A = this chain, B = another copy of it.
């Protein structure tokens, strides 16, 4: 294995470890609200990209159209989102985030932040500015691919 391949492997592992820990922290809140991991990702996507059609949501989450429709049904029943007909294009129906969906996202994110805050207490200013800069660059370069 080349040096680059070895480092790639380590980087993927480390990101996965960090994420598994964060996922577990937020998970108890999602359980309490009966929200699945896929629903949580759907809510995040809608918040990031704005009201989406079922087709767009499916593309973002890499799920089939029928799964996106089923997901939308469940989230609508759980009062996390609602279907709203587009004002400009009357044929299009978009999923809008409802207050309960917004609150679920905020609760999970706040829990994750408070955990990261605890971890960062052990950091010097320089250490975490450096970490943040490294991660920012990584996320930006990933988004450009």
Give residues in A with beta carbon < 8 Å to B: 4-5, 7-12, 14-24, 27-28, 31, 36-38, 41, 44, 60-64, 109, 112-113, 115-120, 122-123, 127-132, 134-139, 141-143, 145
Contacts and interface: CB of A to CB of B under 8 A. Distances in A.
Contact of A128 (B11, B36, B122, B123): B11
A24 B58 CA distance: 11
Given A143-B17, A143-B21, A119 B138 contact: yes
Contacts of A137: 127, 131
A14 B120 contact: no
Contacts of A143: 17, 21
Contacts of A116: 8, 11-12, 15
B128 A18 contact: no
A145 B119 contact: yes
A12 B10 CA distance: 21
Contacts of A134: 127, 130-131, 134-135
Closest 5 CB pairs of A and B: A27-B62, A37-B37, A131-B134, A14-B135, A17-B139
26 contacts: A5-B117, A7-B120, A7-B132, A8-B113, A10-B132, A10-B136, A11-B120, A11-B132, A11-B135, A12-B116, A15-B18, A15-B22, A16-B22, A17-B139, A17-B142, A18-B135, A18-B139, A19-B22, A24-B61, A27-B61, A28-B62, A31-B63, A36-B37, A119-B145, A122-B141, A131-B138
